[in-house]
Structure formats: C-alpha cells, structure tokens
Structure 1
Amino acid sequence: MALSPSAIPDEFRHGWRIVLACSIAAGTGIALVFMNFSMFIVPLSQDLGVSRGDLGAVQAMIITAAIGAPVIGRLTDVLGVRRVYFGCTLIVAAIHVLIAQYASSIYHMAASTAALGFLGIGSTAVVLTRPINAHFREHRGMALGLMAVGISVVSMIAPPVLQWVLDTWSWRAGFLGIGAASVFIGIPAVALLLPDSGRAGSGIGAKEPAAPADRRFLRERDFWLLTMSLIMMSLATAGTISQLAPMIQDEGLDASVAALALSFFAGGQFIGRLGGGWLLDKFEPRRVSFALTLAPALGFIILLSTSGMVPAALLAAAIIGLQQGAELDIFAYFVGRRFDVARYGTIYGALVGLGWIGNVGGLLGMGKIYDLFGTYAPGQALGIAALVISALLVLMVRLPEPAEKAQAT
C-alpha cells in the first residue's frame, strides 16, 4: 500500500534529495576502498612480494585521515559540502588511476594510501552527514541511517563484482573501477540532487557565513567520552575489516566464500544503519548505542569457536557488520544532538580524526598479530575487551533534551 503524501514527514518531503545524494556519494566514496581492501591483500602480497603484516602497515598510512578529518571538516563549514566533496573526489579518483598505472612497490602503495586517507575524508560522514544534521531534527537518526545505507548497498554489490574484476584482470583494474564509480556515479548524484543552499549553517553550499573557529568543545567531557569510545571501537573493528577476507579464508574456506562474507558483512551494515537510526529516534540513545557497540563481540566469539563452517563464518561477518553500520549513526547523531550544528564539521572532524588512533592500532595490530602467531585469534580476543570498554564509555555521555539543545556548547 503506497503512502499518501500526508503520511510522509515534512522533513523527508523536503529532505529526501539530501539523503539520497549523500547516500550515493558515501557509497561510492573512499569507503568503497576501505571496506574492500582486504580483497586486494592476497594479490598485492603475491605481486609485490610482501607479507600481510606489511600490507597492514601500508593500510595504517591512512592515519593521515586523522589530520584530514579536522582540516576538511572545517573547510566544509567554510566552503560548503558540494565544493569540498567535488574537489576531494576528483583528486582521489586521480590517485586511483596513478595506483593502477604506476604502483610497483610497497612504498608506492604506502604513499598513495596516505594521500587517500587525507583527501578521502571529503567523501565520508565528516562531510556528508553535515547537511543531514542541519535539515533533520525529529527524524535525524532515521535520516542518518538512510544516508549510510548507501555504503551498505554498494558494499553488498561490490565484492562479487570486484572479485570477478580481480580474477579476470588484476588488482590494478580493481582500483580503476573504484575510481570510476566515484566519478561517474557519486559526483553526478551530488550535482543533481544536493541543494546548493539550505538551513543557516548547513554548509550545503556555503550560502551562509561560517561560524568562527571555536575550540571550546575540546574542554567538554562529553567530547572526550565520545572520542575514547570511538578509539576503542575502531581498535576492535578496523583490523578485522582490513583482514576480513583472509581471516575467513584462514577458517578453511576459499576466496569465493570470503567474497560472500564481505557481502554478508555489508548486509549486516545495512541492517545496523537503518535499524540503528530508527532505534536512536525511538529509544534512549545511550542504551541503544551500548547494545549495538557490543554486537561484534558475538561475531568474534563465533570465529574463535568454529572453523571450516560456512554458515558460521557468514553469520559472524554479518554480526560484525551490524555494529559497523550503526557506528556512523551513533557518533553523527550524538555530535549533532550534543553540539552546535553550525560547527558540526569542525567538531565531528576532530572526533573522527582522533578516532583514527584506534583505526591505525587495529590496522597495524591485526596483521602483525597474524604474522607473529599465525592466527587472528589473539587479535579477536583483544577486540572483545576493547568493545566492552567502548560500550561503557558511550553510556556516560550526557545528551540534552531537544529543548535544551540551544544551550549546548
């Protein structure tokens, strides 16, 4: 039964274009590389003659996102979403072409990854959740979830297609395909759908004067609780995402099952993003966040206690993906509700930048643990402990009621 126009909330009647544009842009942006890089590990290792731990160190060069997030977040407050997204996406696509054409050593990959980390922020939640938080109030969680669904949909479709490209041609063709997706799908979506103006401070098209630089949020207890929670969460999950395909293969399964596991991971993300956003709107956000943050621990337990079982491996991947999907909802929602939206890019950019400490620890740690022990089990056990800490920290964040929002710093 079709919904009548009156049944559609006002926010969505006027904001669906914003959600759709940001969803497509996020799905075809740097997340496409990050979510599927594990598929490149084996062919890169063979072609460049390096270990998985070495490639984990290469992935850790994406730590430049820690610098890029606050810089590009502030630029978004000043210049607007469209300008920042277009510029960053075009440069990132050019880097993909350079990788495909010229990368021949681990040093080339490291330098390229560093550049992708800094500039790729322009196609992430740091930039693309800003117009969502500016436009939506009552249905903010759902809108953030719908926006993030773009990453999940693309991530469910991409692994089998990307595996076919890798098998048919090479890993170089894989990078070319990822770059083409951002240029020929993401950029047109933003150009056609995202308005060039919006609510004051939205930063959609920088039609409004930007808020002056203000660092008072760095003295806020809640900012640091969110930051430490994100660091511990990233420490637990970033290494798993980066090594998920070989991790599944080490369960005694082949590459096709590993590619399917990535699709199941993306399916879990889809549920986590859509369901997480809805839950944040309907129930106490801290309790919802606590439960969702603990979810990957069950996935790790399944991987630790089973071997060679396709259903178990796929279920574990889906459960880990559930939390990864909700992560964007949780932190974008908390920043948008707790702090001033006019400074959203600056604050969320700083949060994400500091959160990359955990990403780098996970990226380096999981590969090195495998090199040292010949198994991912110790890394998975450490991940469970980190998730427990992350969940407890998010419970301690103070969220103002909507009426109190104007007084939040």
Structure 2
Amino acid sequence: MTYFGEFRAHWPNLLGAMLGIALGAALNHYMTNLFGPSLIAEFGWKRSQFALIGTLGLATMLVLPFAGRFTDRVGPRVAASVGFCAVPLTFLAFSMMRGSIYEFFGITILQSVFGILTTTLVFSRVIVERFDIARGMALSVVMSGAPLVGAALVPVVGEVIEAEGWRAGYRLLAVISAIGGFVAIVLVGGRKPRGAARHEARATGRITRAQLVAMARHPAFLLMVSGMFFCNFPQIVVSSQLKLVLLESGAPSQLATWIVSLYAIGVVCGRFASGIALDRVTPQLVAITALGLPAAGFLILASPATSVWLLAGAVLLIGLAQGAEGDIGAYLTSRTFDMRHYSLIYSFLIASMGLASAAGSIALSLTLGATERFDLFLLLAAALTIVGALCFYFTGRTGRVEIPLPADKPIATMT
C-alpha cells in the first residue's frame, strides 16, 4: 500500500481516533487555564494550592500498566467506551462544586483515572495497528485533534465563563465530551486490521515478568522514559498556569486568553511538522531539534520582557515542542518494541509523564511559596527540557529492542 493509500483506506479510524483524543480527558489540559482564575477568585484558593493540581497525576500511575494491558487485550473500542462513560460525568461534577479545593482534587483524580482510556494510550494504538509507511504523519494528524479543538473551544468556553460563569463552562464541556466520544467510538470500530497485521496487533499473549524486567532495563526504554519525564516536568505551567504566568508578565486578561489559544495552534503546527519529519528523517534528529524549542520559550517568559509579540512567540515555541513530544514518543515506541504489547509499554511512558507533572507541580508550589513568582521555576524548566531532548536523541544508539515475547507457556505472567 502507498503512503496516501493508507490514509484513503483508514481515514474513518484516523478521524475517530483524533476526535477521541480531543474530546476526552485532554479537554482539561486546555481548559483548566481558563477556569483557574475564576475558581481562585470565588473560593479564595491560594495559587500555591492550585499549582498542586499537577501532583494528582500520581493517582493514575498505579493503574496505567493495567489500562495499557486492558487495551491490548480488549481493543481500543471497548477501552474507549469505558473512558467516555466516565469523563462527561466528571465535567458535570466539576460544575456542582461547593468550594473545597479537596473536592476539586477528588474529581480531578477520578477524571484522570478513567480518562486514561480516552488518551493516546488507547487511540494511538488504532493508528499503529493500521499505518506503517505513513505512521509518523498519521500519528501527527490524530494527535492534532486535541490542540485543534483546544484552539477552537478556548475562546468559546472563555466567553461562556465570562458571560454565564464557570459552572456553565463545565456543563458545556460535559455535553461536548459525551457527543464527541460517541462519534469517536463508532468511527474507530468501523474497520479492523487484516491478515498478519491484525494477528500481531490484537494478539493477547502474555508477557513474563522476566521479559518485562529485561525490557525495562534496556537502554532504549530507560532513555525514552527519562526523556518523557524531563520534557514534561514543566507541564503544570502549560496545563493550568499559563494564563497566570502571562498575567504576571503584564498581559491583560483578554490578551492572555488569546495567547493561550495561540499555544494550542503551536501544538498543531509542531505535530504536523514532526509527523512529516518522522516519516523522512531519523527520529532522533527530529527529537533533538523539536524538543529543545521550549527552553527558549521558558527563558523568555522568565525574563522581564513584557512585549506582546515576545510573550506570544514564547508560548508558540512551547506549543511547537509540546506537539512534537507526543508524536515522537508514540512513534519510537512502535518502532522500537514488540507491537503485541504496544499499549502496555507506552503506558510506562505516560506514567513517566504523570510523575513529571507531579514533580513539576511540587517544585512550582515550593518556588511560588518562596518567591510568589514563576521566574525560578521557568528557569528550571528550560534546563530540564534540554536534558529531555538529549535523552530522546541518544536512543538512536541503542537499536530495536529484540526481547522475545512468546504468547504461550509463560513462566510468570502480567495480566
């Protein structure tokens, strides 16, 4: 099959996966920035308390491998159905909060746990099962759904919050997630892999503990997990603090909202650029180039600069690299490890992202408590971003992981 022939054959699956990623738990990644100022103002929460939202990702780390294994065994459609039964209900629960930040944290944890099944852990498998020649570009297209929807919905939801309040904003997200999730589930189930590719992709063979340990000790695995950690350490800033950072830099509220929308556009551009490059250039070169970009953006935000164009440019740079990071991680996982256990292995990378977000949240809370400013954390974010890019670059020296994963007679199993 040709490069574009893969898109013609599997476009319904591609569209369904793109909608699924965009309209599940990922909605909160782009929307929490908008709700933060209103929640802090109404309930009197401290910014240092609100910054701890990123630590809640730790709750998902224990269940991530099981979610990955569940997806490998039952397939993306069933797994996504479970996730989309829960996520809209959590948005409704947000709209009924009464003021305790612990209530907010509790709902966020529930959404994080069940929302795993509406993320790239599930929907990227739809793509790697069906695309080979155009895998990099297909992953970019499917992962562009979230930032595209984010760019479109940020101004809309922002207007709803301004006009009708934050409760109406959360109710709107619940409706959007429920309808979009249903459409996504229908589309991803429309076609299935054929022949040998189907057998490989949907194999339910077990992986022994010895094989899992051997894989976890492989340099490629360690470098990819480390790279994901360092690149996502600053995630708390872009997921829930970006508008506050921009306000601190002197941007008016409406302008800050516009710049947050520009971040989402940058993510889309970064994903398409990385997707094209991954299908044509050594992925490690793509990684070192694309994932080093946020460092410059964080340094600009940490500086005394107040120019609108400098602030917008910094956010755009951060967005470009955030778009590339997801594609590079999924692409390298599918090319480096056995496809039969793709979601299980990829779950460890996602767990690393969650751990990084939690560590970053703690660091941000401490630095905000000590200085009442974001500057120190932004400098740390710039340094660690460069380290993460280097980790991905050095995976090129390890080669493919050739660890047999037999489907029968395991010595001990992880189910």
> Structure 1's 167 and 360: CA in aligned 2 closer, same or farther, altered over 3 A?
same
- Whole-angstrom distance in 2 between the partners of 1:64 and 1:374: 27
User: Match for residue 149 of structure 1?
Assistant: 144
Kept after mapping to 1: 8 A contact 2:201/2:339 = no
User: Match for residue 3 of structure 1?
Assistant: none
Kept after mapping to 1: 8 A contact 2:3/2:133 = no
Kept after mapping to 2: 8 A contact 1:303/1:313 = yes
User: Match for residue 132 of structure 1?
Assistant: 127
- Whole-angstrom distance in 1 between the partners of 2:38 and 2:227: 34
User: Match for residue 173 of structure 2?
Assistant: 178
Which of 222, 225, 237 is residue 223 of structure 2 equivalent to? Answer: 225
User: Match for residue 311 of structure 1?
Assistant: 309
- Whole-angstrom distance in 2 between the partners of 1:127 and 1:203: 16
> Which is further off, 281-290 or 50-59?
50-59
> Structure 1's 397 and 354: CA in aligned 2 closer, same or farther, altered over 3 A?
same
1:137 aligns to what SS in structure 2? coil
The answer to whether 1:192 aligns with 2:187 is: yes
Q: What are the residue-to-residue correspondences of 1:297-308 with 2, within 5 Å?
A: 297-308=295-306
- Whole-angstrom distance in 2 between the partners of 1:299 and 1:270: 17
User: Match for residue 42 of structure 2?
Assistant: 47
Which of 43, 59, 64 is residue 64 of structure 1 equivalent to? Answer: 59
1:306 Cα deviation after fit: 4.4
User: Match for residue 205 of structure 2?
Assistant: 211
The answer to whether 1:73 aligns with 2:74 is: no
CA deviations 1:190-231 (Å, max 9, x no partner) are 313543532479889x99441313424223221111001111
Kept after mapping to 2: 8 A contact 1:134/1:201 = no
1:308 aligns to what SS in structure 2? coil
2:305 aligns to what SS in structure 1? coil
User: Match for residue 413 of structure 2?
Assistant: none
Which of 347, 352, 355 is residue 350 of structure 2 equivalent to? Answer: 352
1:273 Cα deviation after fit: 0.6
- Whole-angstrom distance in 2 between the partners of 1:34 and 1:258: 16
CA deviations 1:114-134 (Å, max 9, x no partner) are 111111111111111011111
Which of 278, 292, 314 is residue 294 of structure 1 equivalent to? Answer: 292
- Whole-angstrom distance in 2 between the partners of 1:218 and 1:148: 26
> Identity of aligned pairs, percent?
25
- Structure 1 residue ranges (4+ consecutive) displaced by more than 6 angstroms after TM superposition: 200-204, 404-409
TM-score (norm 1): 0.92
TM-score (norm 2): 0.90
User: Match for residue 83 of structure 2?
Assistant: 88
User: Match for residue 341 of structure 2?
Assistant: 343
User: Match for residue 411 of structure 2?
Assistant: none
User: Match for residue 408 of structure 2?
Assistant: none
1:326 Cα deviation after fit: 0.7
1:277 Cα deviation after fit: 0.9
> Which is further off, 24-33 or 101-110?
101-110
2:152 aligns to what SS in structure 1? helix
Kept after mapping to 2: 8 A contact 1:59/1:113 = no
Kept after mapping to 2: 8 A contact 1:239/1:359 = no
The answer to whether 1:164 aligns with 2:163 is: no
1:17 Cα deviation after fit: 1.4
CA deviations 1:3-23 (Å, max 9, x no partner) are xxx986221121211111111
Unaligned segments of structure 1, at least 5 residues: 1-5
CA deviations 1:121-151 (Å, max 9, x no partner) are 1111111101111111111110000101111
- Whole-angstrom distance in 2 between the partners of 1:203 and 1:302: 48
Q: What are the residue-to-residue correspondences of 1:259-298 with 2, within 5 Å?
A: 259-298=257-296
2:251 aligns to what SS in structure 1? coil
> Which is further off, 139-148 or 45-54?
45-54
1:395 Cα deviation after fit: 1.5
Kept after mapping to 2: 8 A contact 1:289/1:394 = yes
Kept after mapping to 2: 8 A contact 1:32/1:155 = yes
> Structure 1's 76 and 203: CA in aligned 2 closer, same or farther, altered over 3 A?
farther
Unaligned segments of structure 2, at least 5 residues: 406-415
User: Match for residue 380 of structure 1?
Assistant: 378
1:283 aligns to what SS in structure 2? coil
User: Match for residue 326 of structure 1?
Assistant: 324
Equivalences, count: 401
User: Match for residue 237 of structure 1?
Assistant: 235
2:206 aligns to what SS in structure 1? coil
1:399 Cα deviation after fit: 7.3
- Whole-angstrom distance in 2 between the partners of 1:47 and 1:313: 28
- Whole-angstrom distance in 2 between the partners of 1:405 and 1:359: 28
